[in-house]
Amino acid sequence: MRRWVLIGVLLLVSLAAAPAALAATQTASLGNVSATFSFSGSFSSGYTGERLTISRAGAVAYDQPVSSRFCYTACAPGALSANGPSVHVLDLEHNGEPDVVLDLFSGGAHCCSIEQVFSFDGATRTYVETQRNFGDPGDRIVDLGHNGRFEFLTADDSFAYEFTDYAASGMPIQILTFSGRRFRDVTRSYPKLITGDAANWLTTFKRLSNKHYQDSVGVIAAWAADEDLLGHQRLVSRYLAQQARAGHLNSSLSPQDPGGKRFVANLQRFLRKHGYLR
C-alpha cells in the first residue's frame, strides 16, 4: 500500500535466526507520541509475532499483539509490498493529539487492505482501536487541502463484482476522514476530484466502442455514481437511457439483458441504497 505520509519514519531491519525469516521493527513518531511495529516472516512464509507498542513522553501507553477481525492474527504488514512503512503517527483529527495508523493486508487475490487507527483515550490513559476494511482498492493518506488535515483517498469497493466481473468493474472515487473514532465519507466536499474521476470513467466507456461496448456496465456505473454525487441526476438518466437504446450497456455476465435496460434499473436502486442518490 503506497502512502503519502508527512512524518519521518525510521525503518530497522535485521535477519532472524532462521535464514528464511525476516524480523523487522518499524518506528514512527510525532510530538511526544511514538509507535513501534514489530514482526517476523515474509509474504511467502507468512508473518508471526506482530506487535504494536505506543508510548507517550517515553511511557508505554499501549502494548498488544496485532490482530483484526478481517484476518485475525494472520495479517500481513500492509506496506511491505511497496517497500514502505506500515506504521504512521499523524494528527488525523487536527486537534493536536496524534493518532497511530497501522496498515494491514489480509491476503487474497482481491482483498483486503485494512487501516487500524489508535486514538488516545484520556479517561483510561490508553489507546482505542478503530478499523476499516478498504478492500482491494486500498487507500492513501493524503492532505488534499494542504491544510494539515488528512484524508483517506480510496475508491468504493462495493462496486466490485456488482454489475460484471472484477476486471471490468469500475469503482468511483471515495474520500474519508477520521474523527470521533469514526471514518466519515466526505467525498461530496471535493467536487473537482469527483469531476475528474467522472471524466476518466466516461473516457474509458467511450473507448469501449472499439470492442462494441462489451462489459461496459462496470465503468458507466462508476461514472453515474460520480455524476450523481455532483447532483447531475437528470444528466445521468438521459445518458443512460440513450446508451441503453443504442445497445451500449452490456455485460458478458448478463447476456439476457441486451442493451442494459434492466441494468439501468438495478443501478438506480444500488446508487440509492449506497447514498449516491438523495
Domain boundaries, the chain: 9-135, 192-273
Q: What percentage of the chain reaches a pLDDT higher than 90?
A: 72
Cβ count near 40 (within 10 Å): 17
Residue 148 and residue 92: Cα distance in Å, rounded? Answer: 9
The closest of 35, 23, 55, 206 to 116, measured between CA atoms, is 35
Residue 99 and residue 35: Cα distance in Å, rounded? Answer: 10
Residue 4: the pLDDT is 34
36 confidence band (pLDDT: 50, 70, 90): very high
Q: Which residues partner with 47 through β-bridges?
A: 41
On the question of pLDDT at 9 being above 70, the answer is: no
CA angle 175, 178, 181 (to 5 degrees): 145
Residue 14 and residue 65: Cα distance in Å, rounded? Answer: 20
226 confidence band (pLDDT: 50, 70, 90): very high
Rg of the chain's alpha carbons, rounded to an integer? 22
Contact (CB, 8 A) for 50 and 75 = yes
Long-range contacts, 37-41 (Cβ 8 Å, 24+):
37/66, 37/77, 37/86, 37/87, 37/102, 39/66, 39/77, 40/16
Least confident of 18-22, 38-42, 269-273: 18-22
On the question of pLDDT at 127 being above 70, the answer is: yes
On the question of pLDDT at 81 being above 80, the answer is: no
Listing from the earlier edge strand, what are the strands of the sheet with 22-30? 9-15, 22-30, 33-42, 46-56, 59-65
Indicate the average pLDDT of the chain.
88
Cell of 108: 487474497
Residue 71: the pLDDT is 87
198 confidence band (pLDDT: 50, 70, 90): very high
What crossing angle do the helices spanning 261-273 and 217-229 adopt, rounded to 10°? Answer: 40
Q: What is the mean pLDDT of residues 265-269?
A: 95
* Per-residue pLDDT reduced to its tens digit, 135-148: 999 999 999 989 88
243's CB contacts (< 8 A; 6+ apart) are 220, 249, 260
On the question of pLDDT at 229 being above 80, the answer is: yes
Cell of 125: 490513559
Q: What is the mean pLDDT of residues 149-158?
A: 96
Residue 79: the pLDDT is 67
The gap from C-alpha 268 to its chain's centroid, in whole angstroms, comes to 24
The closest of 114, 115, 184 to 149, measured between CA atoms, is 184
